[in-house]
Amino acid sequence: MANKPSVLSTLPKELPLDFLKTSTDQFSEDRILGVGAFGTVYLGIMPDGQKITVKKLVENSPLGRDKVFSNEVTNIMALHHKNVVKMVGFCHEGQKKVVLNNGRYIVADIVESLLCYEYLSQGSLQKNLFEVDIKMDWDTRFKIIKGICDGLAFVHSINVVHMDLKPESILLDDKMVPKIADFGLSRLFGQEQTRMNTQNVVGSYGYIAPEYLYRGEISKSSDIYSLGLLILETTTGQKNCPSNEPSAVQFIKSVRENWTPEHIVFQFSRSDGDCLQQVKRCIEIGLECVEIDRQKRPTIENILDRLNGLCSSTS
């Protein structure tokens, strides 16, 4: 049966500002889904009722609005993978507004930068792991870990480094399929390039790899460090508290000391042998990913091979 195309599928990639204002009810507070360092995310509703998310970038973000806009559009507009959030459009449009400047009203060109994505009904991994009363079952958590790794393998295969992996950057659809979002800090590497350096270190304090935090070194291993923290948080259900420490040193130490095979059996006492083996392997992989020496961290391909070897089915 042929489905009627949705408004979303027929939209151009560049969307008019007035259209996005209408879809978000003039950026109403009631439509706010979240607020971050780079902007405010709104729920947009299309004329046919379909939902999208609209991120309105702020001018004074840590990296600069234009750079964030360019990163997201350049690095994820063409990405199509089941574990990467789908961008459906963008807007970079100036409007004349009357503003107060040094005690006088003047007419100025104000540019608005907006990014539009598919709407994911279950929200962030952060919310589902740490902000709801019902604890996620292990099968769901393991599926999420594998999905994040699949998405990151795809991102790395096209020479993009995400640079901001954390539970807030992983969104879940109605079937709890994870999708990597928030590419505002991402970097595109050249074909032969494996790492680069920067003087401008930005990111989420408790998830930044130490070689990036202290020396400005960027590589795919930077993402692996953040991924390791994601795997450890998802497996243990315990929160890395980024405000307390750089690179999650105490959180990693706590997992390494406390999540012994005996503790895993105690925490998952109602689970079968396959489940216990999966949990144990995820803890091992997570701790390998957060090695201080980036050369000792596994590649994303190695991680996937080990995770997939634990699958009891070919899902």
Annotated catalytic residues are 164
Nearby residues of 195 by Cβ (< 8 Å), 6 or more positions away: 217, 218, 219, 221
Residue 17, φ and ψ in degrees, nearest 5: -60, -40
Six-digit token pair at 34? 């979240």
At 301, the amino acid letter reads E
Please name which of 249, 267, 269 lies closest in space to residue 259, comparing C-alpha atoms: 267
Nearby residues of 241 by Cβ (< 8 Å), 6 or more positions away: 206, 251
Nearby residues of 119 by Cβ (< 8 Å), 6 or more positions away: 43, 44, 50, 51, 52, 53
Six-digit token pair at 150? 């699949």
Residue 189 carries which DSSP code? P
CA angle 264, 269, 270 (to 5 degrees): 135
Residue ranges of alpha helices (H) inside the chain are 7-10, 17-23, 65-76, 125-130, 138-157, 210-215, 220-236, 249-258, 261-267, 273-289, 300-308
